[in-house]
Amino acid sequence: MGKVIWSNSALDDADTIAEYIAKDSVDRASLFVLRLMESTERLKSFPFSGRIIPEFGDENRREIIYYSYRIMYQVVETDVWITSIIHGSRQIN
């Protein structure tokens, strides 16, 4: 079983999402980010359970969906690196 490691950019993405939600409710923002992070825990045991990111087509670059957000990650040996969180309506450059 590997580890789930959050990159600085993914943590920044989570902070940005929380700041936006906090405009309406600080409690909901905290709960959203907590559950978003919890949704990645299964990746410790099942790193390939997310779908391959269509834009990349790389077996090791995958994503899981949490509400309207795409949690993108890369499998590196036995570990999972969370690389970014983007809203589903955004285009990947």
What pLDDT is recorded for position 75? 97
Is the domain covering 4-87 a CATH 1.10.3720.10 domain? no
What pLDDT is recorded for position 45? 95
Length of the chain measured in residues: 93
d(CA 92, CA 63): 13
With beta carbons less than 8 A apart as the criterion, state whether 74 and 63 touch.
no
What pLDDT is recorded for position 90? 81
What pLDDT is recorded for position 4? 97
d(CA 56, CA 8): 21
Selection from 44, 56, 64 nearest residue 73 by Cα: 64
Q: How high is the mean pLDDT in each 10-residue block of the chain (93 residues)?
A: 95 96 96 96 96 94 96 96 92 71
d(CA 1, CA 59): 19
